[in-house]
Structure 1
Amino acid sequence: MVIEIALRACAVSALSVFLVSAILQVLKDPSRITLLLFLFTSLLDIGLVIFTRVARERDLTPISVVMSVTGTFYYVAFRMEPGIHLIPEAAAVGLQIVGIVIQIWAKLTLRRSFGLLPANRGVVVSGPYRVLRHPMYVGYTIRNVGFLLPNFGLQNVIVFGLHFFVQICRIVREERVLSKDRSYREYMSCVRYRLIVGVF
């Protein structure tokens, strides 16, 4: 329970830092809708983290804790100042909205089973989880690409590259915990792919 409280406190603290930086940038340039959308989904994530149910079984190994913290709070390492626009802001907003819709659909399906650490908070097999085992991570990736393309720069490329690598590691560790549950093993046999149908 101490770790749960500490992680939830970290979530609020990291979001507060990001919130202040993002608002300052948007006040300088109100056309940065991609930054506002990223902020909106970060607020949603933190709200879910604060109110999630305590897991029946969790992976509290140091590597899992580090990966969970890195994978969740990576946005504090963004370069907030405008970068190179590889695509117009409007096109990027459309891409982000696709990612956000996938995220929200997955989160509404999970409800209070959402969390930071690899854990078993109950097996969910409905909604987008009928197609892929980790649709929320698909949504994150699409949203991140939508943010990166009009805010392109070396720092943001490194942050997103690291985040994607960490998310793959988190998936593997999450499934290590969940596969101890027979119902999840049955689910894995029905839904073969994690992120991309036919690939992974």
Structure 2
Amino acid sequence: MQEYQAYRDQCSPSPATRIDLRELLVEAGLRSTTAILLAGFAYVAIRQWLADPTRFTLLLLVLAHCLTLGLSLFVRVPKKRDWNPVTVICSLGASYYFLAIQLAPGNHLVPEIFGAGLQAAGLAWQIYAKLTLRFSFGILPANRGIVSHGAYRFVRHPIYLGYVIADVGFLLTNFGLQNLLVCAGLYLLQYVRIYREEKLLSDDPEYRRYREKVRYRVLPGLY
């Protein structure tokens, strides 16, 4: 009987293994959902662009989200992430907010070319920051290793800075109440997301030293 019990204990998955399996299943579901939603959004946005090919901001919007979420489909799974329900809700809301954007033409507060220029600048900065990180980014806050070079010499969350620049460019050329509310809600979620990410990273002494060197989170001189 004791030998059977020992054999059964040896064959049964440990609690850690069961937790890892659940996380892998959640990860697979999250990535599959991301791919489906992104494909549907890109299809609708490109149809809107085909109706008016002068709306370069629509193409750049699709490119931005393909860069952000498309790359997240291939990043490595980190060892430690923040699974707090508030963090998960804010992270998913801030990642999939594009589903609430009004793609139909809005009011032009600035010329299309100016808004597209801001989007391109924001995209370029995002690419620079993500090249610095390589494959160490994702939807949920996690400790994927502390990076302090490249774009991370200027602010602690440079990718978010790129998001801000690109989103402002799109909003100024596609202005409307719905898009304004979407952007306001987005950056409320991003604020919580950054707070939770910093709380998780603050357990790492290397990050605390980095935080002392780089004072601002996203906007130099402001935040």
**1:113 aligned to 2:102?**
no
The residue aligned with 1:43 is 66
**1:58 aligned to 2:78?**
no
May I ask how many residue pairs the two structures share in their alignment? 200
Q: Which amino acid aligns with 1:83?
A: G
Q: Which amino acid aligns with 2:209?
A: E
Q: Retained in 1: the 8 A contact 2:94–2:190? A: yes
- Aligned-partner Cα distance in 2 for 1:6–1:45: 18
Q: Aligned match of 1:8 in 25, 31, 56?
A: 31
Q: Retained in 2: the 8 A contact 1:17–1:76? A: no
Q: Aligned match of 2:195 in 152, 165, 172?
A: 172
Q: Aligned match of 1:130 in 143, 153, 159?
A: 153
User: Helix, strand or coil: the match of 1:125?
Assistant: coil
Q: Which amino acid aligns with 2:146?
A: V
**1:150 aligned to 2:198?**
no
1:197 is displaced (CA, Å) by: 2.0
Query: Any unmatched runs of 5+ in structure 1?
Result: none
Larger Rg: 2
Give per-residue Cα distances to partners, 1:87-131, cap 9 Å, x unaligned.
110111111111111111111111110100010111111111011
Q: Retained in 2: the 8 A contact 1:53–1:121? A: no
Give the alignment's TM-score, normalised by structure 2. Answer: 0.87
Q: Aligned match of 2:41 in 9, 12, 18?
A: 18
Give per-residue Cα distances to partners, 1:56-78, cap 9 Å, x unaligned.
21001111111111000100101
Moved over 2 A (4+): none
- Aligned-partner Cα distance in 1 for 2:28–2:84: 17
User: Helix, strand or coil: the match of 1:118?
Assistant: coil
The residue aligned with 2:183 is 160
The residue aligned with 1:102 is 125
Query: Any unmatched runs of 5+ in structure 2?
Result: 1-23
- Stretch moving more, 3-12 or 147-156: 3-12
- Aligned-partner Cα distance in 2 for 1:29–1:63: 39
Q: Which amino acid aligns with 2:132?
A: T
Give the alignment's TM-score, normalised by structure 1. Answer: 0.97
Q: Aligned match of 2:109 in 71, 75, 86?
A: 86
- Aligned-partner Cα distance in 1 for 2:184–2:141: 21
Name the Cα RMSD after superposition. Answer: 0.9
Q: Which amino acid aligns with 1:57?
A: K
